[in-house]
Structure 1
Amino acid sequence: MKNEISRRSFIKGTIAAGVAGPLIVPNLSFAAPPSSRLQHAAIGVGGQGAYDLGQINSSGKVDIVALCDIDENNLKAAAERYKGARLYRDWREMLEQEERHIDSVSVSTPDHTHAPASMTAIRKGKHVFCEKPLTHDVYEARKLTEAARRKGVATQMGIQIHSHDFYRTAVIWAKEGAIGKVKEWHAWSSATYTNESKRRPAGSDPIPAHVDWDLWLGTAPERPFLKEEYHPFNWRIHRDFGGGATGDFGCHIFDSVFGALDMGAPNTISARAESNSDDVHPAWVEVDYEFPGTAMTTGKTIRGSWSDGGKKPDTHRSPHFPADYELPPSGSMLIGEEGTMVIPHYLMPELYPKKKFENYPVPELKTRNHYHEFVEASMGNGVAGANFDFSGPMTEAVLLANVANRFPGETLEWNAKRLRFKNNSAATKLLKRRYRSGWKVRGLW
């Protein structure tokens, strides 16, 4: 099902209007050395994509030379801000035509397009900033991480709080042993992405002239357009396109835990969920992990958990809280031998018991911009903190929860090396989806 406006007619129209077009070449730098300005292209320029692009541009070291979006309204708005940028509706066309003209790419699309667009860019040797979750599938996360490492490109996942003083303080406190070795950890979010029926809605609506629905679907199975059901936001509740609350917030909130404890791949994972649907994510999940222990933890293994939809861990698991203590709506906690650290989502971490830690020193940290760090890494200056070697394995752990909630009550035994479950072949099949005909991507077959 295609929009009545073709890509060719759109590009011709924008050239005629003087907005942009492949023949307009502003400040191009072919085979640019690390010291020159970064030539950047953006895939997805509305909503979060507009913010991401603005932050990358604010580094003062970037030329925005190409823009891509399936929504003509988003594209026109971005073109007004980034004068002279060449415009595309299809990211495949953009990466093919711009291959010799760009150094880096940002991918700020629905989850199901993250891996296909990022992999294509990486295989062309481009540095990639990709929004969270890094991918839609566990398999994609593994392959994308391996490809980025093999190509030697700079990468950064869009977990912006990774660079904030709050999360960095939490990691430093844990690493310096403020609460001793950690016995268990828990992470949670108040968010919920679902619908009442737990089914894909029936019916269809006319496709707006400004939306290329076929390109929006991309690798996902074909289905009719429904107004406000998918584009621009509610796609998150549908398994074909998004990761639910777990995918949307898990990478943010696991971030400081994985950084503090050097977590790797889990041994086992089990889940409870409000519902079990092929189409729609549940209103809440409670997920239990067992991970191998690390130098930061007690014992040979450590328990971790994730919950969303308003579910939270029991505060009585920690002996360090006051009797009336309430956890923040979203965040994580590390229960250590000598104390407990609570890391609210996007707030300063707290150490308990309060009296014991009232004078505990706060590190003096230089402010970082998550996006500028990506720009600097792309120009050969250091390595971005949320590069795919860090964020890829963490994304795998998060997305495994969306597999486990399809098998409620069953403990799945994970073989990370072989990328499969030891005891459930049906669960293994959910690690990798089948791309729609015509949308195969090299490196992800």
Structure 2
Amino acid sequence: MPSNKRTINRRNFIKNTSLAAGSFFIVPRHVLGRGYTAPSDKLNIAGIGAGGKAEVNLPFAYNNGAENIVALCDVDDRMAVNARKRWPNAPYYRDYREMLEKENKNIDAVIVTTPDHMHAVQAMAAMQLGKHVYVEKPLTHDIYEARLLTQAAQKYKVVTQMGNQGSSGDDTRNVETWIQAGVIGKVHTVHVWTNRPVWPQGIPTPTGKFDIPAEVSWDLWLGTAPFRDFNPAYLPATWRGWVDFGSGSLGDMGCHFIDVPFRALKLGYPESVECSVGSVYTGFFKEVFYTDSYPPSSRISIRFPARDKMPPVEMIWYDGGIKPDRPEELLPDEPFGEWDGGILFEGTRGKLIAGLFGRKPTLLPTQKMKDAKLPQSKFPFVEKGSEGHQTQWVQACKKGFGTYTSSSFDMAGPLTETVLMGNLAVRSYNIKVGNDFPGRKKLLWDGANMRITNFEEANAFVKREYRNGWKL
């Protein structure tokens, strides 16, 4: 073992041990430094959010005991019941800040599975302590938060992953390969749709007085959001439809579906966005604007400039049951997308339809697939077959900063910004100035400076104000 006068960092350790093939020794966790472990050691993982999607994330990361779950945190004890039973020796907290402070020395990595409005502050707090982070999609609630987390991952040199599992799948990688190889020519239009919301949206703010359940720390649940009285209408999962907490259909499914064209077309900052949303009426010609919740449906057009020898492209998003026109090349009895949505690429030499976890990407007309000679995946270094999104992140954490993950923040951050551009347009749609609705026109975006340049009021949705006592 090295002497006390010698310092070993993780990169040198890996380099030295790779040169000494066949040699084996264990370096204690404290020698490698905060947030890093020896290859022979287990990763110590903490969960901020123990229920809901955490009941998938934590077990996959735990991998039947290959790693350790060393601490759990949730503001709703009811959601944490199963996790606490499964890992009874893991200390349990309600406040993630207390957990990070008290368990700091024993934590290597953190999985954040909480409502959208808390992602940024929780992930940032973990990264500032040198912890690797896995954050559920969408990465953040606001565009500004996404930009800061992207920068923080580089600053603190931690391994990151956003929880859009499809990015680790072979289908996503194949679509990226085929599009960039020009299989359907130059892509100019992409249609993306989902069946979300499958929770209430376009509804009035709930009323009534309710006692806060003893199992819920309501103040901590609100966190960065403005104060409001407790109402069971907001949880456990219906918070997605409320603008203070969630990011609607786009936040739920956009980071899955939009991820595919975002990668394949090398999309960066958009140049404009415009939308239309489903109307809500309470009587004959009595339209109401429920600004506290997202609309029941929307159609959003996001345009991107030419880049990397690719032409300008329009990406059109549909939710609430709305779909694009059925392609003429698709036979009447052939399925158009999956139950939860789909993606249609239109190029100068053809069309391609894709999904996420079901239907394989397919050229149109589908009979083309019989004789098509498609290029091999551009990801030969990834083992064939989805290796598991959470497992991939765990293994990367053990190897250290710079190791490939499918949705690291350098990709997930800009993707999230694009997704949230759609929500910026949706929330600007019903802002009235005089007798006009400027948000219903095309909004021009300066990506580098994170600003709408032709409608100042829309910039309120780039960065929200946190409740007193909270900061990023």
| CA positional deviation for 1:76 | 3.8
The answer to whether 1:168 aligns with 2:173 is yes
For 1:210, which of 215, 220, 240 is the aligned residue? Answer: 215
| CA positional deviation for 1:322 | 4.4
Q: 1:423 matched to which residue of 2?
A: 454
Q: 1:402 matched to which residue of 2?
A: 423
Structure of greater Rg: 2
Instruction: Kindly provide the CA deviation profile for residues 210-241 of structure 1, in whole angstroms up to 9, marking residues without a partner as x.
Output: 111111111111111112x1121111110000
- The answer to whether the 8 Å contact 1:193/1:237 transfers is no
For 2:262, which of 235, 258, 261 is the aligned residue? Answer: 258
Q: 1:358 matched to which residue of 2?
A: 370
Give the counterpart letter for 1:185 in structure 2.
V
**Partner-residue secondary structure (3-state), 2:370:** coil
Q: 2:325 matched to which residue of 1?
A: 314
CA distance in 1, matches of 2:155, 2:169: 29
Q: 1:391 matched to which residue of 2?
A: 412
Name structure 2 gaps, 5 residues minimum. Answer: 1-27, 280-288, 378-383, 430-439
- The answer to whether the 8 Å contact 1:59/1:372 transfers is no
CA distance in 2, matches of 1:246, 1:163: 20
Give the counterpart letter for 1:111 in structure 2.
D
CA distance in 1, matches of 2:355, 2:347: 17
- In structure 2, relative to structure 1, the CA distance for the partners of 1:175 and 1:196 (3 Å cut) is closer
Q: 1:156 matched to which residue of 2?
A: 161
For 2:292, which of 274, 279, 290 is the aligned residue? Answer: 279
CA distance in 2, matches of 1:158, 1:361: 32
CA distance in 1, matches of 2:202, 2:167: 36
Q: 1:435 matched to which residue of 2?
A: 466
CA distance in 2, matches of 1:29, 1:310: 51
**Partner-residue secondary structure (3-state), 2:369:** coil
Give the counterpart letter for 1:202 in structure 2.
T
Q: 2:303 matched to which residue of 1?
A: 290
Q: What percentage of residue pairs aligned between the two structures are identical?
A: 39
- The answer to whether the 8 Å contact 2:185/2:349 transfers is yes
Give the counterpart letter for 1:182 in structure 2.
V
- In structure 2, relative to structure 1, the CA distance for the partners of 1:168 and 1:426 (3 Å cut) is same
The answer to whether 1:224 aligns with 2:229 is yes
**Partner-residue secondary structure (3-state), 2:147:** helix
- The answer to whether the 8 Å contact 2:75/2:217 transfers is yes
Name structure 1 gaps, 5 residues minimum. Answer: 1-27
Instruction: Kindly provide the CA deviation profile for residues 13-57 of structure 1, in whole angstroms up to 9, marking residues without a partner as x.
Output: xxxxxxxxxxxxxxx944353422211110001111121001100
- In structure 2, relative to structure 1, the CA distance for the partners of 1:149 and 1:203 (3 Å cut) is same
| CA positional deviation for 1:398 | 0.5
| CA positional deviation for 1:361 | 4.8
The answer to whether 1:239 aligns with 2:243 is yes
Instruction: Kindly provide the CA deviation profile for residues 121-173 of structure 1, in whole angstroms up to 9, marking residues without a partner as x.
Output: 11111100000000011111111111111111100000011112222222222
Farther off after superposition, 115-124 or 356-365: 356-365
Q: 1:6 matched to which residue of 2?
A: none
- The answer to whether the 8 Å contact 1:175/1:296 transfers is no
| CA positional deviation for 1:60 | 4.8
Farther off after superposition, 276-285 or 100-109: 276-285
**Partner-residue secondary structure (3-state), 1:140:** helix
| CA positional deviation for 1:197 | 6.3
TM-score of the aligned structures, taking structure 1 as reference length: 0.87
| CA positional deviation for 1:92 | 1.1
Q: 1:5 matched to which residue of 2?
A: none
Q: 1:367 matched to which residue of 2?
A: 386
For 1:327, which of 328, 332, 336 is the aligned residue? Answer: 336
Give the counterpart letter for 1:331 in structure 2.
G
- The answer to whether the 8 Å contact 2:37/2:43 transfers is no
- The answer to whether the 8 Å contact 1:75/1:87 transfers is no
**Partner-residue secondary structure (3-state), 2:404:** coil
Q: 1:33 matched to which residue of 2?
A: 37
CA distance in 1, matches of 2:386, 2:448: 37
Q: 1:304 matched to which residue of 2?
A: 315
| CA positional deviation for 1:314 | 2.0
- In structure 2, relative to structure 1, the CA distance for the partners of 1:361 and 1:163 (3 Å cut) is farther
- The answer to whether the 8 Å contact 1:340/1:351 transfers is yes
The answer to whether 1:65 aligns with 2:70 is yes
| Count of aligned residue pairs for this structure pair | 409
Q: 1:270 matched to which residue of 2?
A: 274
Counterparts of residues 128-207 of structure 1 (less than 5 Å): 128-192=133-197, 195=200, 198-207=203-212
The answer to whether 1:248 aligns with 2:259 is no
- In structure 2, relative to structure 1, the CA distance for the partners of 1:422 and 1:342 (3 Å cut) is same
- The answer to whether the 8 Å contact 2:201/2:293 transfers is no
CA distance in 1, matches of 2:300, 2:213: 40
Give the counterpart letter for 2:237 in structure 1.
F
Counterparts of residues 18-29 of structure 1 (less than 5 Å): 29=29
CA distance in 1, matches of 2:417, 2:387: 26
- The answer to whether the 8 Å contact 1:182/1:296 transfers is no
**Partner-residue secondary structure (3-state), 1:399:** helix
Instruction: Kindly provide the CA deviation profile for residues 313-356 of structure 1, in whole angstroms up to 9, marking residues without a partner as x.
Output: 2235xx64447766224011111122211112422111112233
